[in-house]
Chain A
Amino acid sequence: MQSIKKNFFEFFGLPISFDVDVESLSEKYHELQKEFHPDASSLETEIEKMRSVQFTSFVNEAYNTLKSPIKRAEYFLTTQGFDTENVSQSELDMDLLLEQMQLREKLAELPKDDSAMPALENLKQDVKQKLLIQQSSFADDARSENYKSAKKTFHELQFLYKLLSEIEENEERRLEY
């Protein structure tokens, strides 16, 4: 696995860009899997099998990264030399933080039984809407090579994804699953 030096974009024969056509990515992924998956090589030696496991692990990782907009955004910034794990307060918009807090308060104030389900659904749609807007603004920033702004948008996306998963956790708890 260590021997694969290419980055994920190059690996799939794509330009290093946030704009990825997920449908054609998935097509390439399937082609690679059909060729290299351990099932396709049931007759080879143990060493070849092991290599195939390592290689398809890499293929899976690369595909899962590029398929998901948030992971792809992060990976894209890393290829541009940005450290996505650290963020300072000054990089973020005050308005955005306030809005996040308000959304979180809304979530906390909802009733604890399943009467909150419609409200949770509304909140979820609201957050998803915001995610789409931020995603397209990240794409714009990335295209115009405005990486500083892209990094800020990425951290905003992170907040929204976190919030989305909290809303979903809330849903599950109310479904008594």
Chain B
Amino acid sequence: MALLQISEPGKKSTNPKVKLAVGIDLGTTNSLISSGYLGDVEIFPDLSGQVLLPSVVQYRQDAQPIVGEKAKMEVLADPENTVISIKRLMGLSASESQNLPQFEQYTFDTSRGDESPVIITRAGRKDPIQISADILSGLLARIHTAIDEDIEGAVITVPAYFNDAQRQQTKEAAKLIGLPVLRLINEPTAAAVAYGLDSNEDGNTIVFDLGGGTFDVSLLCLKRGVFEVLATGGDTSLGGDDFDYVLSDWMSERVFDRGQATLKERGKLIAYANSVKHELTLHNSVSLSFNGWRGTFDSVEFAKICEPYIKRMINACRRVLRDASLSKEEIDNIVLVGGSTRMPIIRKAVESFFEKPPLTDIDPDKVVAMGAGLQAEVLVGNKSASDFLLLDVNPLSLGIETMGELVEKIIPRNTTIPVAKAQEFTTFKDGQTSMVIHVVQGERELVSDCRSLAKFELGGIPQMVAGAAKIRVTFQVDADGLLSVVAEELSTQKMSEIQVKPSFGLSANAVEEILSSSHQNAKLDLDLRALREAQIEAKQLIDAIKAAKEDDGDLLEESDGGRIESLVHQLSEKIPNGTSVEIREMTELLNQITSDFAASRMDRYVGQALKGEAIDEID
């Protein structure tokens, strides 16, 4: 395949109707590009036949940046101008970025705070979008040397757990070099597409994607040429690198006895651990030698020290199965993606959990780019959607803030996109004329624990008693996974609309935190939620009674005025430190004894409202 493309540069397709579309795996460590322009979808190598392009960019004075293998060789000699792992900074703010230990060799512009990070190189200021754009240019050069044709568009893959900000920035990187993006697709989904189309067999596929720094797992169903993503999950703070760290810790205890290793020694030890890990994919046992210390290490020992990480991966698999309501017996294929899945201990763990050997016939480094290339063929029309169609899901729940800083989920995670969902909300105070719509992403119940996507205000709500206005909030997620929100007051049809484009996103760890803390704190959340709700209800009732007393004090006297007053007083005192049950019981009681008052008030209100209005206008 490599020979075909490099032996005939400047080739054009024999079929004039075929358009040039590419699939791009823009990875943290390595990137790849594929195209089906010359027949079957294939990875395009560089002139020396290398398929992996290291995601490394070296910036030079008054010259084009160097991308790939050559830049990688400069990492040690020219660290501050040679950028690695830029994908980890996508969607992060400057203040989050400059504190990450693996980026300490760069000079960041420290004045940017919440804005996107800027690295100062000898070629000037560079942000993650520009650096990613340079990597994309390096990939496109491979296509341009082989094919003399304009690129119609690209499908670029992103981790399933990339949030809106990270997806937007990936798109912007392509835009910067004039590359039209046909679609962003999730990496595990792309891998499943590559396998599914290869075998063309219907069934349920688990994709187990372990990269250097992230772990994704997705469950897809292939039927009649339609790939339906049933559920996706993962752990963004778990990756192949963790195995290097845990092994270097193990060795450190033995090599340095009680003495502390220096930072430099520790770095060397991690690199050594990485090479031991690689050797263990070939041999069962390895002899170790470091700083004069000698020992042996075997795969049984390795499995033992890695057990906590493997357990987390298997739990993520369980959860995805559960979200899709499938049992592990119903899984037909297991696909392994990412170089770290070459580790025998991972393969063994996956095989013993699913009781089935994983598929390994496509190179785990290439499979994602292959799938992206296939999807690109469909999107430019080289292949028909009736041959194969991809139905993806939104990976994280979307909702809005309601009273008491609670989250009301509007679109739960793992809902097939595109999707539109509407929910009605109402005003909280009498005469309220505006409402703030705060859009959040995450699984937790409290707003402060979720990620804020956007905030906007719907004004011009006609004055009504609390709870009378009807505001319909509609969430729409398109096929790229991007969200837009519309809020509408139903009686006046006044609308307010926003496309969610946050300026920066959560760190990878933060996404993981959203998910894991969501469950650890589920009980705490529920208790707290119950209390908050009770407090709000009580306050609302008291506010309503107070307001009503001002308007219709005469009616209150007719009902049991004195008793109501004293209960209002007692309840106000209970709100700050009572339990949810206590507050709720008193609220309930107050509600009951004010029901007569409320009813006579409503009669009066309706009577007034009807005056001078034709009947057909109010219904």
Residues in A lying within 8 Å of B, measured CB to CB: 1, 26-27, 30, 33-34, 37-40, 42-43, 53-54, 56-58, 60-61, 63-64, 168-169, 171-173, 175-177
Name the 5 nearest CB pairs between A and B, nearest first.
A40-B385, A57-B420, A38-B479, A30-B226, A53-B418
Give B295-336 as 1s and 0s: 1 = Cβ < 8 Å from A's Cβ atoms.
000000000000000001001101100100000000000000
Q: What are the residues of chain B within 8 A of A30 when measuring CB–CB?
A: 223-226, 389
Contact at A56–B379, with CB atoms within 8 Å? Answer: no
Distance, CA A131 to CA B498, complexed state (A): 41
Q: Is B520 an interface residue (CB 8 A)?
A: yes
Distance, CA A34 to CA B223, complexed state (A): 12
Contact at A43–B418, with CB atoms within 8 Å? Answer: no
Contact at B315–A176, with CB atoms within 8 Å? Answer: yes
Contact at A54–B420, with CB atoms within 8 Å? Answer: yes
Q: What are the residues of chain B within 8 A of A64 when measuring CB–CB?
A: 415-416
Q: What are the residues of chain A within 8 A of B389 when measuring CB–CB?
A: 30, 33-34, 37, 39-40
Q: What are the residues of chain B within 8 A of A54 when measuring CB–CB?
A: 418, 420
A140 to chain B, nearest CB (A): 24
Contact at A169–B479, with CB atoms within 8 Å? Answer: no
Q: What are the residues of chain A within 8 A of B479 when measuring CB–CB?
A: 37-39, 53, 56
Q: What are the residues of chain A within 8 A of B476 when measuring CB–CB?
A: 53, 57
Q: What are the residues of chain B within 8 A of A56 when measuring CB–CB?
A: 418, 479
Look across to chain B and name the residue whose beta carbon is closest to the beta carbon of A57: B420
* Secondary structure call for the A interface: helix
Q: What are the residues of chain B within 8 A of A42 when measuring CB–CB?
A: 182, 379-381
The 28 listed contacts between A and B (C-beta, < 8 Å) are A1-B420, A30-B389, A33-B226, A33-B391, A34-B226, A34-B386, A39-B378, A39-B379, A39-B385, A40-B384, A40-B386, A42-B182, A42-B379, A42-B380, A42-B381, A43-B381, A53-B418, A57-B418, A60-B415, A60-B418, A169-B519, A169-B522, A172-B522, A173-B519, A173-B520, A176-B315, A177-B315, A177-B516
Q: What are the residues of chain A within 8 A of B519 when measuring CB–CB?
A: 169, 172-173, 177
Q: What are the residues of chain A within 8 A of B349 when measuring CB–CB?
A: none
Contact at B381–A60, with CB atoms within 8 Å? Answer: no
Contact at B419–A61, with CB atoms within 8 Å? Answer: yes
* Additional A-B contact list (10), CB under 8 Å, known A27-B224, A38-B418, A177-B312: A30-B226, A33-B226, A39-B183, A53-B478, A58-B420, A60-B417, A63-B416, A175-B319, A177-B316, A177-B519
Residue in A26, A37, A60, A172 whose CB lies within 8 Å of B319: A172
B222 to chain A, nearest CB (A): 11
Q: What are the residues of chain A within 8 A of B318 when measuring CB–CB?
A: 175, 177
Look across to chain B and name the residue whose beta carbon is closest to the beta carbon of A169: B522
Q: Is B390 an interface residue (CB 8 A)?
A: yes
Residues in B lying within 8 Å of A, measured CB to CB: 182-183, 223-226, 312, 315-316, 318-319, 322, 378-381, 384-386, 389-391, 415-421, 476, 478-479, 515-516, 519-520, 522-523
Q: What are the residues of chain B within 8 A of A33 when measuring CB–CB?
A: 226, 389, 391
Look across to chain A and name the residue whose beta carbon is closest to the beta carbon of B221: A26
B509 to chain A, nearest CB (A): 16
Q: What are the residues of chain B within 8 A of A38 when measuring CB–CB?
A: 418, 478-479
Distance, CA A171 to CA B385, complexed state (A): 40
Distance, CA A58 to CA B421, complexed state (A): 9
Q: What are the residues of chain B within 8 A of A173 when measuring CB–CB?
A: 519-520, 522-523
Distance, CA A168 to CA B224, complexed state (A): 32
A42 to chain B, nearest CB (A): 5
A62 to chain B, nearest CB (A): 11
Q: What are the residues of chain B within 8 A of A168 when measuring CB–CB?
A: 322
Distance, CA A85 to CA B574, complexed state (A): 31
B384 to chain A, nearest CB (A): 8
Look across to chain B and name the residue whose beta carbon is closest to the beta carbon of A36: B385
Distance, CA A175 to CA B479, complexed state (A): 33
Distance, CA A118 to CA B400, complexed state (A): 37
Q: What are the residues of chain B within 8 A of A175 when measuring CB–CB?
A: 315, 318-319
Distance, CA A163 to CA B379, complexed state (A): 43
Distance, CA A43 to CA B382, complexed state (A): 12
Distance, CA A58 to CA B316, complexed state (A): 31
A130 to chain B, nearest CB (A): 17
Distance, CA A63 to CA B516, complexed state (A): 30
Contact at B391–A37, with CB atoms within 8 Å? Answer: yes
B426 to chain A, nearest CB (A): 15
Q: What are the residues of chain B within 8 A of A39 when measuring CB–CB?
A: 183, 378-379, 385, 389-390, 479
Q: What are the residues of chain A within 8 A of B322 when measuring CB–CB?
A: 168, 171
B596 to chain A, nearest CB (A): 21
Q: What are the residues of chain B within 8 A of A53 when measuring CB–CB?
A: 418, 476, 478-479
B548 to chain A, nearest CB (A): 25
Distance, CA A63 to CA B394, complexed state (A): 17
Q: What are the residues of chain B within 8 A of A40 when measuring CB–CB?
A: 384-386, 389
B312 to chain A, nearest CB (A): 8
Distance, CA A55 to CA B526, complexed state (A): 36
Look across to chain B and name the residue whose beta carbon is closest to the beta carbon of A29: B226
Q: Contacts A53-B478, A173-B523; is A26 near B385 (CB within 8 Å)? A: no
Look across to chain A and name the residue whose beta carbon is closest to the beta carbon of B523: A173
Q: What are the residues of chain B within 8 A of A176 when measuring CB–CB?
A: 315, 520
Contact at A34–B522, with CB atoms within 8 Å? Answer: no
